[in-house]
Structure 1
Amino acid sequence: MRRILLVVAASLLLSACGSVSVASHELPANHGWVLSCSKQRLSEPSFFILDCATSSLLMADTTWTSWGARTATGVGRLGVVPCTPVCKVASMDFYPHTDVTLSDPITVDGDARIFHHVTLSYTFEGKHYTLSRSLS
């Protein structure tokens, strides 16, 4: 139980400290954003959770190669929590060298373009996988 609490605490600390947020006045109005689980606008975050309901899917150590109004692409470590039959945070699996693409921005508050879709590509045991889903 203590190990699970430590992993959860570390994940929360990383989500608070590991994300990069840039005020909207520093970037063009049509700049793309991704939302944190607390609905904070993030630009080029090194760490962000992709499934806020269960925290079972996240990107860590992300380096962005491009970030624009319509798409953002980068590489990082995909973290996946096995959720069968229930999510077990202590057993998160990481897949290094995961390609991440954010796309399909929607307009929020009249000007903010929030990325609404993510595509992840990674290799596990020599086999290539692609995961594509909406961001909530």
Structure 2
Amino acid sequence: MAKTAILVCAGTALAAIAAPSSASASANSRPQSPNRVVVDCFFHAQVRPASFLIACADGNNYLSNLRWSQWGPDAATATGQDVVNDCKPYCAAGKFHSYPAQIRLDRARQWNGKSREWQYGRLTVNYPGARPADTPQTMTYNLWS
């Protein structure tokens, strides 16, 4: 009786140990979809960033208060603020103004030869209301890689 109980306990323990490792092995052998990222000015991959610098050279245009409603394989969408320097009378003396904006990232492509990360290649900013002077309602930017 005792020998049977010991064998049953040992078998149960081995099954408990083996189950997680075999489950993780099958999960690891299954192909996973690549991560989607947006690459910032410093070539860092970001997922659902709270802010994003558009004008890398001088910092005169950036997105802030981003709230992402979608982050998928084909596109990412958010709402937030487009903060733009009016550069009047020149950029160093200009003032920053915020405009409500709808953001879309799309055109994902493999980033820097890394198979697990694909970067969104295009950024679209749509202004549902007020927008910077001399700016169309929708602006599209090809993002760097």
The reply to whether TM is greater than 0.5 is yes
Q: How many residues align?
A: 106
Q: State the Cα distance separating 1:115 from its structure 2 match.
A: 1.0
Question: 5+ residue gaps in structure 1?
Answer: 1-27
Indicate how the Cα distance of structure 1 residues 134 and 46 shifts in structure 2: closer, same or farther if over 3 A, else same. same
State the 4+ residue runs in structure 1 displaced beyond 4 angstroms.
Answer: 83-86
Q: TM-score by structure 2 length? A: 0.64
Q: Which has the larger radius of gyration?
A: 2
**Equivalent residue letter for 1:39:** F
1:32-111 → structure 2 map (5 Å cutoff): 32-83=36-87, 86-88=90-92, 91-96=95-100, 98-108=101-111, 109-111=113-115
Question: 5+ residue gaps in structure 2?
Answer: 1-31
Query: What residue in structure 2 maps to residue 116 of structure 1?
Result: 121
Indicate how the Cα distance of structure 1 residues 106 and 84 shifts in structure 2: closer, same or farther if over 3 A, else same. farther
RMSD over aligned CA atoms reads 2.2
Q: State the Cα distance separating 1:30 from its structure 2 match.
A: 1.5
2:86/2:94 contact within 8 Å kept: no
Q: State the Cα distance separating 1:85 from its structure 2 match.
A: 7.2
Indicate how the Cα distance of structure 1 residues 89 and 52 shifts in structure 2: closer, same or farther if over 3 A, else same. farther
Q: TM-score by structure 1 length? A: 0.68
**Equivalent residue letter for 1:38:** F
Indicate how the Cα distance of structure 1 residues 61 and 83 shifts in structure 2: closer, same or farther if over 3 A, else same. same
- Higher helix fraction: Structure 1 or Structure 2? 2
Fraction of identical pairs, as percent: 22
